[in-house]
Amino acid sequence: MQFKEIIGQESLKEHLIQTVVENRVSHAQLFLSAEGSGALPLAIAYAQYINCQNRTTTDSCGGCSSCRKYEKYIHPDLHFSYPFFASKDVKIAVDVLEEWRSMLLEDPYFDLDIWRSKLSAENKQANINIAECHDIIKKLSYKAFEADTKVLIMWLPEFLDREGNALLKIIEEPPANTLFILVAQNQEQILSTILSRTQIVKIPKLTDTDIENYLIDKSQLSENQATEYSFLADGNLIEAKALLNDTPNNNASYFAEWLRMGFGNKVPAMIAFTDTAASWGRENQKNFLKYGINFLRECSLLLSGADDLVKLPHQTLEVAVKLTTHVLNLAMVEALINELEQAHYHIERNANPKILFLDVSLQLVKIIKFKSLPKGTQYIYN
């Protein structure tokens, strides 16, 4: 992948190229970005530029032996690590390497949900396990086959548990000519011991103009439509592509119906919903709760009179307007967000989903139907 294929991020591309020109490439770097900003493609383009045999002042050549192998992600000195779903047949990341390469060749802008869809994830939770850490150490202990620099790109190091401490030695004192690039979205979830050993490269969100130009170039959208979609995407190219493809999102209908159940005190329906939610798997449950939190935050903007800042698609906006006009107030929205944030916290820590979603459902009834709200410091969190 070449820098010219990456959407936006022009100043950052220049910075990365300059580090190579001036021989200031840190051996362990953390590319930190919001989702859909292009951190993974940037990391790959950076590695390709470093190992290009005929690089220019602006990009890798794209034609040398190294570049051709990088373009297909088959260079023997380019290694990837990423969250996967362990099973009897999948012990380490290499066991799903073909699926990973296929994903990158199809579109290097993707998130964990899209990656899950490529694998038989079922209800398993993604992680980077101790076996994968040992495999990384083993691969990097070998001499480089062709390139001057061996590169390991780890996507989403947030999924390293304490087992990630096994990598500390090799990150701090790597073999000669070895480059680690960690591509992360949440700095707080990365092991502090790893974080302290890396140089952080902050990657900003894409601008609305970058996304708008991309949508116009890649589709038949009018300028007005592209402007609306880029505004809704908020710097996330993955979200912009989902809007472009009109990808249906069941979270919106599920969450609106869940709120209606709470307002109608429909306990039998809520119990049925609890069974449905429990079958989704933890990642999908977390995404559903995150959607609900974001939706309610948009509702709070409507209630505060900041309509111009609301970034909801038209159909979802209609639902939000009805809720904020006839049902919700700011105190209720705040209480609901608190409940969903707690639920997300507990799902991440392997809470029983049936018990959890039933409890939150009953809290919805309490807040929406009976307007029983927490009062200051007297409220005791579960």
All structural domains of the chain, each given as residue ranges with its CATH number in brackets, are 3-204 (3.40.50.300), 246-369 (1.20.272)
Tens digits of per-residue pLDDT, 250-276?
778 889 999 999 999 998 999 999 999
d(CA 133, CA 167): 6
Q: How many of the other CB atoms lie within 10 Å of CB of 301? A: 18
Q: Which structure tokens are listed for 339?
A: 């409940």
For 241, the 3-state DSSP assignment is helix
Residue 249, by phi and psi: left (phi above 0), alpha (psi -120 to 50) or beta? beta
Q: Which structure tokens are listed for 68?
A: 């051709």
Residue 293's closest CA among 334, 322, 261?
334
Q: Does residue 240 contact residue 233 with C-beta atoms inside 8 Å?
A: yes
d(CA 366, CA 360): 10
d(CA 348, CA 162): 15
- What pLDDT is attached to residue 382? 43
- What pLDDT is attached to residue 235? 85
Q: Does residue 148 contact residue 80 with C-beta atoms inside 8 Å?
A: no
Give the CA distances from residue 198 to residues 32, 37, 39, 185, 248, in Å, rounded to whole numbers and listed in that order: 11, 20, 16, 15, 39
- Mean pLDDT of the residues in the chain: 87
Tens digits of per-residue pLDDT, 78-103?
999 999 888 888 889 899 999 999 99
Backbone angles phi, psi at 238, to 5 degrees: -65, -45
Backbone angles phi, psi at 149, to 5 degrees: -130, 125
Backbone angles phi, psi at 42, to 5 degrees: -60, -45
- Band the pLDDT of 208: cuts 50, 70, 90: confident
d(CA 235, CA 353): 32
d(CA 254, CA 27): 46
Q: Does residue 131 contact residue 91 with C-beta atoms inside 8 Å?
A: yes
Tens digits of per-residue pLDDT, 17-47?
999 999 898 899 999 998 989 999 999 999 9
Residue 256's closest CA among 324, 201, 316?
316
Write the DSSP string, 264-275: HT-HHHHHHHHH
d(CA 94, CA 90): 8
Q: Which residues are 150's β-sheet partners? A: 178
For 63, the 3-state DSSP assignment is coil
Pick 229 or 330 by higher pLDDT: 330
Name 277's Cβ contacts closer than 8 Å, sequence gap at least 6: 285, 288, 353, 357
Pick 382 or 369 by higher pLDDT: 369
Name 137's Cβ contacts closer than 8 Å, sequence gap at least 6: 166, 167, 170
